[in-house]
Structure 1
Amino acid sequence: MFDRMVGLSRGETNFIRGGIAQDLRCDGRNRLSYRSINVESGVIPQANGSARIKIGGTDVIASVKAELGRPSSSRPDHGKVSIHVDCSATATPMHQGKGGEELSSELALALQRGLLGSKSGAGAGIDLSSLCIVEGKTCWDLYIDCLVVSSDGNLLDSLGAGIKAALSDTGVPRVQVIAADASSSSDQPEIDVSDEEFLQFDTSAVPVIITLTKVGKHYIVDASAEEESQMSSAISISVNRQGHICGLTKRGGAGLDPSVIHDMISVAKHVSEQFLNKLDSEIAAAQARQEES
């Protein structure tokens, strides 16, 4: 679904598969290691929050814009979040034309499922209740826009990390609800939005997405484009700091035994701790650099 088609010779294919089987990948990593991670914060000044993240050769930008809106009738005590993904035509040839549009839609849907959690609240991801201002009347709508600048595998995880970094940079204006005039016919409360005071968005429960890609008998994290071309199936599992599973997406034609899926979830939980620690460290360093500049 999100995989870049890469033409490889039989020798290259055998080299990739053989390395993964021996737990020594082409770039020297083992099966559960990530490539280098680099984060920049505040890359789009006009947004409420933004970040650029590079994982290996995959490069994405995420921005967050907060606007006042009205809660949905089904969830009157929650705000709303919408995610849009745009794949640059220069990222890879498959991103051009209709292929890029389909990929963008698939990625946005997977991110919605993985980062927002279930509607029942079990394993919740982004806390939508914190975006409610007046129940049933006024809330914050967060518009998250992502741009894929360069793609070299593991696109979904990179976008999820970029969104988490952008939310960590997001300041939502402080608001004051002014008592409505009893004689007013409007059912909308009057809201005073501060231009100077901002509340930092709480990202403590925002998950990361860990994709385990199955190649041969083994599965790996942070697959490169060449490794993704050899996959039989993959599972993307979103996990937050508390170890809660917020979403799960499977792709690829090959089926997986339930016991294998259970093991992959356990591995994803373990890997997520290391990835979150590294990501949080990079986000903190990026914010420190931003404050110094």
Structure 2
Amino acid sequence: MVGLSTGEKLFIQAGIAQDLRTDGRGRLTYRPISIETDVISQANGSARVRMGGTEVIATVKAELGRPNPMQPDKGKVSISVDCSPTAEPAFEGRGGEELSTELSIALERCLLGGKSGSGAGIDLSSLIVVEGKLCWDLYIEGLVVSSEGNLLDALGAAIKAALSNTGIPKVHVAAEALDNEQPEVDVSDEEFLQFDTSGVPAIVTLTKVGKHYIVDATLEEESQMSSAVSISIDRHGHICGLTKRGGVGVDPSIILDMISVGKHVSEELLNKLDSEIVAAEADEEE
């Protein structure tokens, strides 16, 4: 929890009302964003994202598995988050566990759509090797290294960058297997398929402070929020997921306005993330 005096709280709220936040940003401006890729060599893909003072790492590991019998034409993705106790004193003990669970659930809602996989920002059908028998399971793990607010957006950006850095080994199916048998496969150590991230959305969190909402809230600003709505939006402006936190309800008309603002902000954010990912991959090749 951030301890602020009454004067500091009023200063933050007044600045947001006048579209001039304490760090000089407007209500809909993100802090500087930087991305590094391939930061964990043992993973199939990884990335580090810094968003202001918030720093997170995402890794992707791919393993062969069996598709869910209810979704034989789709692979599987699981997302988990760990909040390092060194990132924030509040992360020690159950505080960190509860936030890790909250962030993991929110990321799955924003990136994987509903339980049926409908609306998923990650194309699960691209992970199928042999329909009904063999697929890729992606294990995505996020680590919060330092926390200065807006963890969900930063983790979403890190996952997008890590997926763009992910190489899936090429699989050669040796022969057709009988209905109840697993097919024989040869997994290449040299040939890799680049994961398609064109449909992976960006997460935009709109935090309501007083009568206004802001993007990329700092810890101090989050301490003054009444509620926050996180929207994942892809390059085509499609909403892939939505989640809310905070005890205060949000009027449906406000939600619609938030979605409209989120779509506008997401276009600029996606352009920034894409350019940073391209630059990071160029640095990696040098």
Whether TM exceeds 0.5 here: the answer is yes
Shift of 1:124: 2.7
Question: Partner residue of 1:213?
Answer: 207
Question: Partner residue of 1:112?
Answer: 108
- Report SS of the residue matched to 1:136: coil
AA in 2 matched with 1:113: R
Q: How does 1:223-262 map to 2 (within 5 A)?
A: 223-262=217-256
Q: How does 1:41-60 map to 2 (within 5 A)?
A: 41-60=37-56
Shift of 1:45: 0.8
Whether 1:271 and 2:258 are equivalent positions in the alignment is no
- Report SS of the residue matched to 2:148: coil
Task: Find 1:177's aligned residue among 164, 173, 176.
Answer: 173
Compared CA separation, residues 75 and 8, structure 1 to 2 (3 A) = same
Task: Find 2:92's aligned residue among 69, 93, 96.
Answer: 96
Contact 2:177 2:184 in 1 (8 A): no
Distance in structure 1 (CA, Å) of the matches to 2:158 and 2:177: 43
Shift of 1:94: 1.1
Shift of 1:119: 4.2
AA in 1 matched with 2:183: P
| Higher mean C-alpha displacement, 268-277 vs 249-258 | 249-258
Task: Find 1:131's aligned residue among 119, 127, 131.
Answer: 127
Shift of 1:288: 0.4
Compared CA separation, residues 113 and 69, structure 1 to 2 (3 A) = same
Shift of 1:145: 1.0
Shift of 1:240: 0.7
Question: Partner residue of 1:32?
Answer: 28
- Report SS of the residue matched to 1:76: coil
- Report SS of the residue matched to 1:108: helix
Shift of 1:123: 3.0
- Report SS of the residue matched to 1:198: strand
Shift of 1:254: 1.2
Whether 1:64 and 2:64 are equivalent positions in the alignment is no
TM-score when scaled to structure 2?
0.98
Shift of 1:180: 3.6
Q: How does 1:142-153 map to 2 (within 5 A)?
A: 142-153=138-149
Question: Sequence identity of aligned pairs in percent?
Answer: 73
- List gaps (5 residues or longer) in structure 2: none
- Report SS of the residue matched to 2:231: strand
AA in 1 matched with 2:23: D
Compared CA separation, residues 8 and 136, structure 1 to 2 (3 A) = same
Shift of 1:121: 5.2
Distance in structure 2 (CA, Å) of the matches to 1:65 and 1:73: 22
Summarize deviations over 1:232-260 as a string: whole Å, max 9, x none. 01100111111110111111111111111
Task: Find 1:158's aligned residue among 154, 158, 175.
Answer: 154
Distance in structure 1 (CA, Å) of the matches to 2:258 and 2:142: 28
Question: Partner residue of 2:192?
Answer: 198
Shift of 1:102: 1.1
Compared CA separation, residues 223 and 186, structure 1 to 2 (3 A) = same
Distance in structure 2 (CA, Å) of the matches to 1:283 and 1:159: 14
- List gaps (5 residues or longer) in structure 1: none
Contact 2:15 2:21 in 1 (8 A): yes
Shift of 1:8: 0.2
Shift of 1:208: 1.1
Contact 1:118 1:246 in 2 (8 A): no
| Higher mean C-alpha displacement, 115-124 vs 239-248 | 115-124
- Report SS of the residue matched to 1:85: strand
Distance in structure 1 (CA, Å) of the matches to 2:159 and 2:43: 13
Shift of 1:201: 0.1
